[in-house]
Structure 1
Amino acid sequence: MAATDFLETAQGRRLAYHKSEGAGPTVVFLGGLKSDMEGTKAVYLEAWAQARGQGFLRFDYSGHGESSGAFTDGCIGDWHQDTIAAVTALTSGPLVVVGSSMGGWQALLLARAMPERIAGMVTIAAAPDFTEDGYWASFSDDQKAALDTVGHVELPSDYMEPYVITKRMIEDGRQHLVLRNTLDLPFPVRFLQGTADTAVSTETAVRLLNHAVGPDMRLLLVKDADHRFSDGPCLDLIENAVLDVMGEG
């Protein structure tokens, strides 16, 4: 396995990454909340890109994986800064961005920040605005009060230890919402969503499809696929979606 490289950002964070040189467009994988670049989907896509001789980048946001910082110190805006830093420093030319869960939100923020760089996008169980529409909207009065008094709340997860959700994450999330104003995606986009996903609903996927504006958007609902979306058939669907947005599907 190739050694991990590190990027020092202007914000003083140290981001772990793996980059494969190759032809463009470069495929960039953006992982989910509390996930890392060693996940099944990221590693699968890297091997696929390497076999094609195509450029590929995967990295860990700060507070994730091998990167510096604590998860509880981070927020959507920090990870958006990390994404821009990694893409700017480590890639050139057109990109195909693949975002999973929170990485789907990050992909949409990246499209808003630098649309001229993006040639295509694939999201997997995209979770835009989840800090507001998921967490805050479902918090009890006691939980909302705890954000002020304690500074955080703990939420159970189906996939790992509880999530610690901080007041800063909620407040920062409000500065990065993408479903309240026009969301232009002027390139091919494929949204992938499992119907058995307990973390992101099909309603969220349909809302994103209806809200975004673009010339070539499709939503694929996969019956009985869960939030991981990483078994063999789902990995094939991701691969085919990447090919599709590159015009090779």
Structure 2
Amino acid sequence: MAQTSFIETGQGRRLAYHRSEGQGPWLVFLGGLKSDMQGTKALFLEDWARRAGRAFLRFDYSGHGESSGSFGEGAIGDWAEDTREIVTALTDGAILPIGSSMGGWQALLLARAMPERIAGVVTIAAAPDFTEDGYWANFSAEQKAQLESVGQVELPSDYMEPYVISKRMIEDGRRQLVLRGPLELPFPVRFLQGTADTAVSTATALRLLDHAEGPDLHLRLVKDADHRFSDERCLSLITGAIEEVLAATG
């Protein structure tokens, strides 16, 4: 496997990445909360892109994987900064973000920040606004009081150690919301969502589809697929969605 490279951002964060040249638009994989660029989907898509001769970038947000920083000190806006900086520094021309879970939110933030660079978007179990609609909305009065007094709460995870959710993450998340105002996506978009996903509901996927505006938006619900969306069938659906977007861009 190729050696990890690093880039220093304008905010002083050291981000780890793997980058392979090829035909554009650049495929940029955006991972989920507490995930890293060594996950099944990221590695599979890198290999697929290399075999197809496609330009590909995967990286770790600050506080994730091999990048600098502590997860507990990070927030949605920090990771959006990381995404914009690394995309600007390491890619040129059109980009096609492929966002998984929290990375789906990041893909939408990227599309809002630099729409002129976006050829299309693919999301997998996208989780826009989850700090507000998933965490804050479901916190008990005790958890909200703890967040205020201690500055953080711990939430169990089905996939790893508990998430430490800080007061800063909740407050910063409110500045990054995409489902409260216009969400213009004037390019091909494919949303993928498993019906057996216990982390992101089909209702969230339908809300996103209903809220977003664009000429070519499609949601594919996959029966019995879970949040990982990483078995052979699901990986094939991801590459199929990418190919659809690429074909639509000409």
TM-score by length of 1: 0.99
Paired letter, 1:112: R
Residue number in structure 2 paired with 1:131: 131
Count of paired positions: 249
Residue number in structure 2 paired with 1:75: 75
Residue number in structure 2 paired with 1:108: 108
- What is the rounded CA distance, in whole Å, between the counterparts of 2:192 and 2:68 in structure 1? 31
- What is the rounded CA distance, in whole Å, between the counterparts of 2:190 and 2:53 in structure 1? 23
Give the secondary-structure state (helix, strand or coil) at the position aligned to 1:87. Answer: helix
Q: Could you list the per-position Cα deviations for residues 4-27 of structure 1 after superposition, in whole angstroms to 9, with x for gaps in the alignment?
A: 000100000000000000110110
Residue number in structure 1 paired with 2:144: 144
Assess if the C-alpha contact under 8 Å between 2:27 and 2:97 holds in 1.
yes
Q: Which runs of 4+ in 1 moved over 2 A?
A: none
- What is the rounded CA distance, in whole Å, between the counterparts of 2:244 and 2:179 in structure 1? 25
List aligned pairs for 1:201-220, cutoff 5 A.
Answer: 201-220=201-220
List aligned pairs for 1:1-249, cutoff 5 A.
Answer: 1-247=1-247
Over aligned residues, Cα RMSD in angstroms? 0.9
Paired letter, 1:94: A
Q: Give identity over the alignment, percent.
A: 74
Give the secondary-structure state (helix, strand or coil) at the position aligned to 2:219. Answer: strand
Q: CA deviation at 1:248?
A: 6.8
Query: Structure 1 residues 91, 16: CA separation in 2 closer, same or farther (over 3 Å shift)?
Result: same
- What is the rounded CA distance, in whole Å, between the counterparts of 1:192 and 1:22 in structure 2? 25
Structure 2: runs of 5 or more not aligned: none
- What is the rounded CA distance, in whole Å, between the counterparts of 1:163 and 1:204 in structure 2? 21
Structure 1: runs of 5 or more not aligned: none
Assess if the C-alpha contact under 8 Å between 2:188 and 2:248 holds in 1.
no
- What is the rounded CA distance, in whole Å, between the counterparts of 2:210 and 2:248 in structure 1? 25
Give the secondary-structure state (helix, strand or coil) at the position aligned to 2:119. Answer: strand
- What is the rounded CA distance, in whole Å, between the counterparts of 1:119 and 1:85 in structure 2? 18
Q: Could you list the per-position Cα deviations for residues 94-130 of structure 1 after superposition, in whole angstroms to 9, with x for gaps in the alignment?
A: 0111000000000000000001101011000000000
